[in-house]
Structure 1
Amino acid sequence: MGVRTMLKISKVIIAIIVIGFSSYLLITKNFELMPYLMLFLAILMLVTGLIEYQRNRKGFWGYLSILVSLFILFVSIRGFFFN
C-alpha cells in the first residue's frame, strides 16, 4: 500500500468524522465539541493539501490547503485553551 493510498483512505475516514461531529453539533445545538471539530477539519485540510502536493501540483491549491489547515489548527488550539 502506497503513501497516496493511505492518504486517500485517511481523508475519507477523517471526512466521515468531520461530518459526524458537525451533524451532532447541528442537531443538539451543543457547541462544546467545536474545538474537536476544528481540529479534525484542520487535519482533513492538511491531508488534502498533502494529496495535492503529491500529485505534482505544487501550485496554488496544495499550498493554500496547507496554509488553511495551519490557520484552523491555530483556531482549534485557541478553542481548547481559552474555552
Structure 2
Amino acid sequence: MKTLKIILIMAVISLASFGLITNTSSKILPFLLLLMALMAAVIGVTEFQNRKPASLGLFLAAGFALFVGVYIL
C-alpha cells in the first residue's frame, strides 16, 4: 500500500509539472483529477486502517475528485 501511494504521488506531481511546463493543463486536468482521486482513496484506506477520523474527509475528497474528473472527460 505504501508503494502504491508513493507511485500515485509521483505520477500526480509529474503530470502536473508536465502540464505546467507545456502549457497544456486544460487537456491534462481530467487525468490529473482521476489520479488525485485514486491517491486520496489509497491514503483514506490507510488512515481507515489506523482508525483515524481523517479517513472520512479523504473518501469525500476522492469521491468529489472522481466525479469532477469523469464529468470533465
Normalised to the residue count of structure 1, the TM-score between the two structures is: 0.83
Does residue 49 (structure 1) correspond to residue 44 (structure 2)? The answer is: yes
List 4+ stretches of structure 1 deviating above 6 A: none
**Could you give the per-residue CA deviations for residues 25-46 of structure 1, whole angstroms, max 9, x where no partner exists?**
1111112111001100000000
Which entry has the higher C-alpha Rg, 1 or 2?
1
TM-score normalised over the length of structure 2: 0.94
The residue type equivalent to 1:35 in the other structure is P
Q: 1:68 aligns with which of 61, 65, 69?
A: 61
Distance 1:48 1:8 in 2: 9
Figure out how many residues of one structure are paired with residues of the other and give that number.
72
Distance in 1 (alpha carbons) for counterparts of 2:72 and 2:51: 34
2:72 to 52, 60, 79: 79
Aligned to 1:12: 6
Identity of aligned residues (%): 31
The 1-side partners of 2:51 and 2:29 are apart by 34
SS at match of 2:51: coil
For residues 17 and 47 of structure 1, the distance between their equivalents in structure 2, rounded to whole angstroms, comes to 14
Unmatched 5+ residue regions in structure 2? none
The one-letter code matched in structure 2 to 1:29 is N
Look up the equivalent residue of 2:47 and give its one-letter code: E
Unaligned 5+ residue runs, structure 1?
Answer: 1-6
